[in-house]
Structure 1
Amino acid sequence: MWRAVASNALTLFIVILVAVAGVLAWGRQQYVAPGPLAEAICVRVERGASLAAVSRNLAAQGAVSDARIFRIGADYTDKAQGLKFGSYLVPAGASMEEIVDILTRGGQSTCGSEVNLRIGVATAEIILRELDPATSQFVEKARFDPAAGPTPQEYADAQSDSALRYRVTVAEGVTSWQVAEGLKRADFLGGEVAAVPAEGSLAPESYEVVKGQDRAALLAEMAARQDRILADLWAARAEGLPYDTPEEAMIMASIIEKETGIPDERGQVASVFVNRLKAGMRLQTDPTVIYGVTKGQGVLGRGLRQSELRGATPYNTYVIDGLPPTPIANPGRESIAAALNPEATDFLYFVADGTGGHIFARTLAEHNANVAKWRQIEAEQRRQQGAN
């Protein structure tokens, strides 16, 4: 009798083990299998949100088929405590495993609404945009110059959204004065700008910020990034450059930045200026003269006058030898890299080609011929503008 009972108990135990194994296998399959979402959605994780609350929200939005399996899977993979605050794009068909990874990976939010202060060479504007999950494209809701007029109602209404993200984007080639003035216009930043940072010291990049962030602290972050970029590239510089310090390299980089907006041209433009310095020639570049006129405070908005081209200022490279005393803008990483590792050419001249780029020349005769072609292009452009 006892033998029969023991046999039956063992059989029952084995059946239970098999059943448990089956349930675990089924749960695992549910966790890693494609999910039920037919279209991408935005998922918001509040600060301090529990995994239970997030799993219920996911189930309510149809992103997961079973909130319990989602929680068990997250706990089993040691990610249950790793939820990151923010709004995240969950793609169609994402598995529970993939969703857990998205919500715990960290980094910048990838969904929802965003305010971006864009500081450019000519303008500083605030843009409100929202990500459309279905297309993964941002839809612009409002765009305005904060110093020029009334705030759009869409922007004012968006301020009540606790999930609203903020960003400051600094374009390559802006001056430090333009950055400082742009930050002053951002109503979502706090603190004061005590002084305009040194020219060239700020990294033109995109910065994710929080509402009320201190302006001085943000400028310090920009400066720290530029310091790191310059230090890294200076350590890998080419030999035989005609400047001896990182500060001189930054001056050259700022000139390159202002001379061309074509990324592939930076190395050639750099080579022209390096070749000129090595040959004892003057740089003769208009952007330095313009900086001497404007002091970096805005755009000149007209052509240079002959008196300005002849005037003896520290920034008139038609008059002075060598480099001007400071950078003339904040160069981006690629222009700094070009200054420190220019292309190997024997070019000494360049002029606009009418398409946004430049034609390079080795001799003055070649250059004069290229200039004549550019004058013809300019005359034709003026004729067409007059006809319109």
Structure 2
Amino acid sequence: MKSLLRALLAIVLVAALACGGAYAWFLHWLDVPGPSQQNVTLIVPRGAHVGQIARLLADAGVAGDARLLELAAWQTGLGPHLKAGEYAFAPGETPRAALERIAAGRVVVHHLTIPEGLSTFEIRRLVSGDAALSGDWPKEAVPEGSLLPETYNFIHGDTRGELLARMRKAQQDLLARLWPERAADLPLASPEQAVILASIVEAETPLAAERPRVAGVYLNRLKRGMKLQADPTVIYGITHGDPEQQRPLTRADLGQDTPWNTYANAGLPPTPINHPGRASLAAVLQPEQNDFLYFVANGRGGHVFAETYDQHLRNVAAYRASQKR
């Protein structure tokens, strides 16, 4: 009887040691680098249960064994907190770190930059071409000039409509701040007119430092009842923002009868010709105070400004001569 008891005790002891050893090995495994030797990005779908998530991680090489990873999710208490989303895992990320990443919802953040001065046509191409966004481009029209060019962050699965709504709100918020602070005596009746003029300034110069001066020129012309005579408005009347339709302007183009032809029509065109950025909007509402009425390219990316037409003609002649050298 005593010998049988000793044998049973020995068996229990061995089993306990074996279980303890297995548990210690399991705890060690949780913090051992995973098998992947490269960055791994995967998407945890909505509604996936712990076993499915463990299988996704194992199949992607983040963890070596899906069953152990599922057990680890419950042992660590992270199982009920695993979240859907897109996740990026570094080479050799441990099972514990991978589970903690998903439980914390540290998803991949995408970035989409909308450059200043793009048309709705061009923005649609950018937004529609980003595979991380979902949904279609909205069916309702996106008016020219209604979005704020900027870099926007989003996560996988955000819709194109949601992103456009953020762009629209960003522009509305900016105008709500800038319009009340505008300079006195501007010949602009509304924020919408400010956006129209800002889109012309945006198209005329790539130099941020030059925009308040260009804005001043156009505002001076508006105050005097002079036609704006802005080439970019004529181009928009022909292309409607489609870059594939753009070509060098001809003298005949300047006489085309479109609402955007500021050589033929006085005042502002009926709509913006692009989506202007912060600097151009600010330049129109806080322009440089000057007496310039004309400007022409200087051949170096900027412009030469003139107060009189005779001076402007001399600047034009100088520019043309420089182009022949």
TM-score exceeds 0.5: yes
**1:238 and 2:196 matched:** no
Pick from 277, 280, 288 the counterpart of residue 343 of structure 1: 288
Corresponding residue of 1:294: 239
**1:277 and 2:222 matched:** yes
Over the residues paired in the alignment, what is the CA RMSD in angstroms?
2.5
Pick from 240, 264, 284 the counterpart of residue 209 of structure 2: 264
What SS does structure 2 have at the residue aligned with 1:189? coil
1:176 touches 1:196 (CA, 8 Å); kept in 2? no
- Classify 1:241/1:86 alpha carbon distance in 2 versus 1 (closer, same or farther; 3 Å): farther
Equivalents in 2 of 1:178, 1:216: separation in Å?
Answer: 16
1:290 touches 1:300 (CA, 8 Å); kept in 2? no
Amino acid at match of 1:373: A
Corresponding residue of 1:191: 135
2:108 touches 2:155 (CA, 8 Å); kept in 1? no
Equivalents in 1 of 2:172, 2:244: separation in Å?
Answer: 26
What SS does structure 2 have at the residue aligned with 1:360? strand
Q: Which has the larger radius of gyration?
A: 2
What is the CA distance between 1:172 and its match in structure 2? 0.2
Corresponding residue of 1:226: 171
- Classify 1:188/1:312 alpha carbon distance in 2 versus 1 (closer, same or farther; 3 Å): same
Equivalents in 2 of 1:223, 1:86: separation in Å?
Answer: 29
Map 1:49-128 → 2, pairs under 5 A: none
What is the CA distance between 1:302 and its match in structure 2? 2.1
Pick from 106, 113, 120 the counterpart of residue 169 of structure 1: 113
Greater percentage in helix: 2
Amino acid at match of 2:192: E
What SS does structure 1 have at the residue aligned with 2:304? strand
What is the CA distance between 1:266 and its match in structure 2? 0.5
Equivalents in 2 of 1:237, 1:377: separation in Å?
Answer: 38
2:87 touches 2:108 (CA, 8 Å); kept in 1? no
Corresponding residue of 2:251: 306
Alpha-carbon displacement from aligned partner over 1:155-204 (angstroms, at most 9, x marks no partner): xxxxxxxx643111000000112111221111111011124411101010
1:177 touches 1:196 (CA, 8 Å); kept in 2? no
Pick from 290, 294, 299 the counterpart of residue 354 of structure 1: 299
Pick from 145, 149, 162 the counterpart of residue 217 of structure 1: 162
1:204 touches 1:331 (CA, 8 Å); kept in 2? yes
Corresponding residue of 1:6: none
Equivalents in 1 of 2:315, 2:245: separation in Å?
Answer: 26
Equivalents in 1 of 2:322, 2:116: separation in Å?
Answer: 28
Q: Structure 1: 5+ residue runs without aligned partners?
A: 1-46, 48-84, 88-108, 110-162, 381-388
Alpha-carbon displacement from aligned partner over 1:214-261 (angstroms, at most 9, x marks no partner): 001100000000000111100100110111111001100110000000
- Classify 1:345/1:300 alpha carbon distance in 2 versus 1 (closer, same or farther; 3 Å): farther
Greater percentage in strand: 1
2:254 touches 2:263 (CA, 8 Å); kept in 1? yes
Alpha-carbon displacement from aligned partner over 1:319-356 (angstroms, at most 9, x marks no partner): 00000000000001110011111110000000000110
Amino acid at match of 2:184: E
Q: Under a length normalisation based on structure 2, what TM-score does the superposition of the two structures give?
A: 0.66
Equivalents in 1 of 2:143, 2:154: separation in Å?
Answer: 22
What is the CA distance between 1:299 and its match in structure 2? 4.7
Q: Under a length normalisation based on structure 1, what TM-score does the superposition of the two structures give?
A: 0.56
Equivalents in 2 of 1:259, 1:188: separation in Å?
Answer: 33
Equivalents in 1 of 2:286, 2:237: separation in Å?
Answer: 27
What SS does structure 2 have at the residue aligned with 1:315? coil
What is the CA distance between 1:212 and its match in structure 2? 1.7
